[in-house]
C-alpha cells in the first residue's frame, strides 16, 4: 500500500505524521490516558519494549515538556456533526485556545528495548532484555543515581510501568499468543520490582485463547483491572491493553526476576461474582453472568477514545490537493533486508532454479 492510500485507509497513520509522532501507536496511549487519566500525579515512569519510541515520546511531551493533548488531536469533526444530527450524545467541545505548557518537576523516565531507539530529550534509554535478571540493577541504577546494589528493591519506586511490546507474529496463533503472554509476564515481573503500591501498569495483550487466565493473575496484584481497546487500535487486530490500577501485592510477596512469576504461579483466589441484572441509566438492561470457574476471570471491557474520534477501520476522503507526508521515522531495517537486496541483485528470485 502506498503512503497516499494508507493515509485514506488509516486515519491515525496520517494524523501521526501530521502531529509529529514516531508511530501511530502514540494515539493508543493518549486515548488510554483520556479514559483512565493515566498520567495524573505521575512523574516516574518506565517504558518497556519502547522502540521505535512513540510511547516514550508521549511521556516526554506530556511529562517533561508539559504539553497536553485532548480529544481535539484525534477528533473527526464531521463525525461529531453527524452524531449530533442522529441525536447521539457527543462530548462537549474542547476549548480552542492552546493550553499553557505545564512541565512537571522531578520527572524520571526510563525506556528499555533491545532494539536501538533514537534518543529523546530527558529520557534515559537502556538497551537491555526485559526478561533478564541483570536488567533490574541496570534499571534501578538508571532510575536512581544513588542506587545501592545490596538492596534489591527500588529506593524510589515508579508510578507507572507501560509496555507496548509485541512479537513479530508468525501466523501460528498459539505461538504468537504464547510469545505475547511471555512478553506480558516479563513486563509484569519487571513492574512488580519497581512499582510503588498504588502504582499503575499498562500493557499490550492479545485477547485470545486463555486470556481469562492472564486477567485472573493480574487481578491478584492490582485493585482494578480493565481491558481496553482505544479507537486508534484496529478492530481487526486482536491487540488490546490491560490497564491495571492500584498495585497491591499480596502480603509476603517478594518480586524478583531470578524467580519470576509465571502462569498459574499465583493462586488466583477471587470471590466469584454472582449473576446480576441491572438497568442502566440509558435504559439498557445489563446482565452480568458472573465470574468464570477454574481460576478464570474476564476483565471488564472499556472502550476508549471517544466515538467522535477517528475510526481506524473507516475510509476517509482526503482533499485532492493534499500533500502526502513522509513518516516521522523511517521503519527500522527488517531482518530480511539483506535477503531483499540480494534478491534484487540476482534479478528477482535469488537466481535460483524454478520449482518443479
Partner 1 sequence: MSSFLQIISSRTPVTALCLLDDLVVSADGPFLRIYHYETGQLLFWTNAFDDQTIHGIAHVAKLASGHVHLLIWGRSMLRLVILVPISKANTVPGPQDGLKIFLGQSTKAPGWILALAVNAGSGQSSGMNCDCTAHAAFLTAQNVLYTACPTDRAALLVHEVAAGPRCILYSANLIWDSSFSLLVAAGTAFGDIIVWSTAASPGSTACVHYILTGHEGSIFGLQISERLPLDMEGQKIARFLASCSDDRTIRIWLLREDPGLRAPGYEEGASGQYLEQTGFLSKNEKRKIDDLSSSLCVASAMGHASRIWGVRYINAASWLKTQSMKLLSIGEDATSQVWELDEKENGFALHHRASFAHHFGKNIWSVAVDSAANPRIVTGGADGAITARRLQTDQVEAPLSTLLATWSMESMLESADLFCQQTLNSFGKPAHFAAVSAPKNCKADFFRSYIFIQETALLMTTNEGLVLLFQEDETGFRRWSHIATLSDIAGYSVAAGVPQKPLAFLAGAEGAVYVFDMKGRTMMPVFRVGGKVAGLFVELVKTTEDVDTYGLVATLMGNSPPQHIILAHHRLSEDILVVRRVVLPLEPSVMVTSMTHGPTGRDQWSVFLGLRNGDALMFSHGGSEGVTQPYTIPRVHRGETITGLRWLSGKDSQDVLGWLVSVGRDGACAVNQIPQSGSNVLLVHKLTLSLGSNLEGLYISPKNELFVYGFHGTRFIFHNASLHRSIMTVESGGVHRVWTFKPNVTTDGGITGGRFAWTKASQFMIYTSQEANHRVIQPGGHGREIKACAIAPVVLSGSKLGPLIATGAEDTDIRLSSYDGTTFRCVSILRKHVTGIQSLKWSSDGRFLFSSGGFEEFFVWRLRSVPSVEVGVVRESACPMSNEKSDLRITSFAVEDISESKGKQDGDAMFLITMVYSNSTIRTFTYISSNSKGTWTLRATHRYTSACLTQCSYLSVDAGTSILLTAATDGHISLWSMSGITELKASPDVTEIEWLGTIRVHQSSVKAMSVVRLNRDNHLILSGGDDNALGLTHCVLHKTGSPGMSVLLIPRAHAAAITATALWLGVSSQMKFGLYAVSGSNDQRVRVWGISMDLERSDEHGVVLRKLGNGYTAVADVSSMALFPSCDSGPRRVEVLLSAPLSESVIFGPWLLA
| Cell output for 149 | 546494589
Q: Could you tell me the smallest distance in angstroms from the CB atom of residue 326 to partner 1?
A: 21
In the residue annotation, 204 being an active-site residue is answered as yes
DSSP state of 232: T
Of 19-27, 52-60, 124-132, 155-163, which part binds partner 1 (CB under 8 A)? 124-132
Q: x-or-dash pattern for partner 1, window 273-302, by CB under 8 A? A: ----x-x--xxxxxxxx------x-x-xxx
By beta-carbon proximity to partner 1, the closer residue of 98 and 353 is 353
Residue with cell 493473575: 217
Nearest to 44 by CA among 29, 64, 26, 25: 64
Annotated binding residue 185: no
By CB under 8 A, name the one of 105, 149, 150, 352 that touches partner 1: 352
Q: x-or-dash pattern for partner 1, window 82-121, by CB under 8 A? A: xx--xxx-------------------------x-------
226 torsion bin: left (phi>0), alpha (psi -120 to 50), beta (else) = beta
Count residues binding partner 1 (CB under 8 A).
83
Q: Could you tell me the smallest distance in angstroms from the CB atom of residue 260 to partner 1?
A: 10
Annotated binding residue 41: no
Annotated binding residue 21: no
Compute φ and ψ for 17, nearest 5 degrees: -70, -40
Annotated binding residue 129: yes
Spatial neighbors of 31 by CB under 8 A, at least 6 apart, are 74, 230, 231, 232, 304, 305, 309
User: Helix, strand, or coil here: 219?
Assistant: helix
Binding residues among 131-150 for partner 1 as defined by CB under 8 A: 131-132, 134-135, 138
Binding residues among 16-75 for partner 1 as defined by CB under 8 A: none
Q: Could you tell me the smallest distance in angstroms from the CB atom of residue 276 to partner 1?
A: 10
Q: Could you tell me the smallest distance in angstroms from the CB atom of residue 133 to partner 1?
A: 8
Binding residues among 199-228 for partner 1 as defined by CB under 8 A: 207-212, 215, 227
Cα end-to-end span (Å), the chain? 32
Among 108, 200, 204, 229, the active-site one is 204
User: Helix, strand, or coil here: 81?
Assistant: helix
**Count of CB atoms within 10 A of residue 24's CB?**
21
By CB under 8 A, name the one of 29, 32, 49, 79 that touches partner 1: 79
Q: Is 329 exposed, middle or buried (0-12, 13-18, 19+ CB in 10 A)?
A: middle
Q: Does a cis peptide bond (omega within 30 degrees of 0) precede residue 196?
A: no
Residue 5 found at the interface with partner 1 (CB under 8 A): yes
CA distance 140 to 127: 14
Binding residues among 152-191 for partner 1 as defined by CB under 8 A: 167-168, 170-174, 178-179, 182, 186
By beta-carbon proximity to partner 1, the closer residue of 99 and 210 is 210
Annotated binding residue 47: no
Spatial neighbors of 106 by CB under 8 A, at least 6 apart, are 43, 44
The DSSP H or E segment spanning 125 is: strand 123-127
Q: Could you tell me the smallest distance in angstroms from the CB atom of residue 86 to partner 1?
A: 5
Pairing of strands 123-127, 222-230: unpaired
By CB under 8 A, name the one of 238, 266, 268, 270 that touches partner 1: 238
By CB under 8 A, name the one of 96, 274, 323, 356 that touches partner 1: 356
Annotated binding site for S-adenosyl-L-methionine: 53, 55, 113, 129, 164
Query: Could you list the active site residues?
Result: 204
Annotated binding site: 53, 55, 113, 129, 164
Amino acid at each position: 500500500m502506498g503512503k497516499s492510500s494508507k493515509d485514506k485507509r488509516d486515519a491515525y497513520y496520517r494524523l501521526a505524521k501530521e502531529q509529529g509522532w514516531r508511530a501511530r501507536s502514540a494515539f493508543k496511549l493518549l486515548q488510554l490516558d483520556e479514559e483512565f487519566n493515566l498520567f495524573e500525579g505521575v512523574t516516574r515512569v518506565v517504558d518497556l519494549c519502547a522502540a521505535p519510541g512513540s510511547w516514550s515520546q508521549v511521556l516526554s511531551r506530556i511529562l517533561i515538556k508539559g504539553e497536553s493533548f485532548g480529544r481535539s488531536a484525534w477528533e473527526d469533526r464531521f463525525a461529531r456533526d453527524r452524531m449530533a444530527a442522529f441525536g447521539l450524545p457527543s462530548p462537549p467541545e474542547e476549548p480552542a485556545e492552546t493550553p499553557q505548557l505545564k512541565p512537571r518537576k522531578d520527572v524520571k523516565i526510563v525506556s528499555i528495548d533491545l532494539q536501538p531507539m533514537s534518543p529523546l530529550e530527558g529520557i534515559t534509554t537502556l538497551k537491555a532484555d526485559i526478561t533478564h535478571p541483570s536488567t533490574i540493577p541496570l534499571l534501578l541504577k538508571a532510575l536512581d543515581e544513588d542506587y545501592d546494589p545490596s538492596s534489591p528493591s527500588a529506593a524510589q519506586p515508579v508510578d507507572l510501568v507501560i509496555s507496548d511490546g509485541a512479537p513479530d507474529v508468525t501466523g501460528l496463533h498459539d505461538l504468537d499468543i504464547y510469545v505475547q503472554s511471555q512478553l506480558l509476564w516479563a513486563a509484569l515481573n519487571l513492574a512488580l520490582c519497581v512499582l510503588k503500591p498504588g502504582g499503575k501498569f499498562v500493557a499490550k495483550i492479545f485477547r485470545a485463547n486463555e486470556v481469562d487466565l492472564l486477567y485472573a493473575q493480574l487481578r491478584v496484584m492490582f485493585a482494578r483491572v480493565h481491558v481496553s481497546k482505544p479507537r486508534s487500535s484496529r478492530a481487526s487486530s486482536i491487540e488490546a491493553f490491560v490497564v491495571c490500577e492500584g498495585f497491591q501485592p499480596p502480603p509476603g510477596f517478594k518480586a524478583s526476576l531470578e524467580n519470576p512469576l509465571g502462569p498459574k504461579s499465583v493462586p488466583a483466589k477471587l470471590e466469584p461474582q454472582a449473576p446480576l441484572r441491572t438497568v442502566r441509566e440509558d435504559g439498557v438492561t445489563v446482565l452480568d453472568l458472573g465470574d468464570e470457574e477454574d481460576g478464570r476471570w474476564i476483565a471488564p471491557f472499556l472502550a476508549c477514545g471517544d466515538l467522535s474520534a477517528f475510526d481506524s477501520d473507516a475510509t476517509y476522503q482526503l482533499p485532492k490537493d493534499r500533500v502526502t507526508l513522509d513518516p516521522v521515522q523511517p521503519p527500522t531495517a527488517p531482518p530480511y533486508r539483506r535477503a531483499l537486496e540480494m534478491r534484487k541483485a540476482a534479478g528477482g528470485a535469488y537466481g535460483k532454479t524454478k520449482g518443479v
